[in-house]
Chain A
Amino acid sequence: MAYANPNITADAIDAQEFMDLSRRYRITGVPKTIVNDRIEILGGLPEAEFIGLALQKPDAP
C-alpha cells in the first residue's frame, strides 16, 4: 500500500519487542493493524475487505 501512494507509510512492528506500543494499542492477538491511530483491524482479511476498513473516512461508523 505504501509503495502505491506517497501519502502512505507502512510499519511492520514486532509486538514482543515493542511492548510499550503493544500496550498502547491493546495488542492481544496478531496480526493487528492500526491505521492513523484510529482504525483497528484484527487478523488477516481478504484484500478488498482490508482496504475497505483501512481507508474508512473519519466520520464512517
Chain B
Amino acid sequence: MAMLSDSDRQTLIKHLEPISKKVDVLLFTQTFGGGESGLIAKQVADEVASLNDQVTVVEKNFVLDTDERAKYGVDKSPATVVLADGVDTRIRFYGANTGYEFVALVEAVLLAGTGNLELEPETLTALAAVDQPLHIQVFSTPT
C-alpha cells in the first residue's frame, strides 16, 4: 500500500529529479525478534526507491549477513545504509524511518545521488579539517 498521497508523491519525484548517480539503500532487517518496524522500514525504503529509477533497495539479513554488517558497522536493526555509486556515504538510519526521519532519508538519498552538499563554505572548511573519527548520533522520534 502506498504511504504517500499522489500530490506528495509528485512533489518528491520532482525533488529527486536532480539525482544523477546510482543510489543503493541497504536495508538490514531481521524476521525473528525484529518487530514490526522492519516491515515498515522496508515499506518506506520501497516507497523512496519508487520515486526515482536511480534508487534501489538492497535487502540484507541482519542476522545472517554478518560480513556486511561488519563492513558498514551496523549494530542494530532495522538499519538503513545509503550508498552513492556503491560508495558508503556513512549515513545511517536506525528505526522505521517514518515521520521526520522519512524526510531525512529522502534528503540523504538526494545528497547521495547528486553530491550537492548544501552547507555554508565555513562549515565545509571546518568539516574538511576533521582528522579523527567523529561519530554523530541524532536521536529523534517519528512525530
Contacts and interface: CB of A to CB of B under 8 A. Distances in A.
Interface of A: 1-18, 21-22, 25, 27, 30-37, 47-48, 51, 54-55
> Which secondary structure characterizes the binding site on chain B?
mixed
Contact of A14 (B90, B94, B127): B94
Contacts, number: 138
Interface string B117-134: 101101110111011111
B3 interface: no
Interface of B: 37, 73, 76, 89-97, 101, 104, 111-112, 115, 117, 119-120, 122-124, 126-128, 130-142
8 contacts: A4-B127, A8-B136, A9-B134, A15-B139, A17-B37, A18-B94, A48-B120, A48-B123
A36 B84 CA distance: 25
Nearest to A31: B140
Contacts of A36: 133-135
A15 B90 CA distance: 20
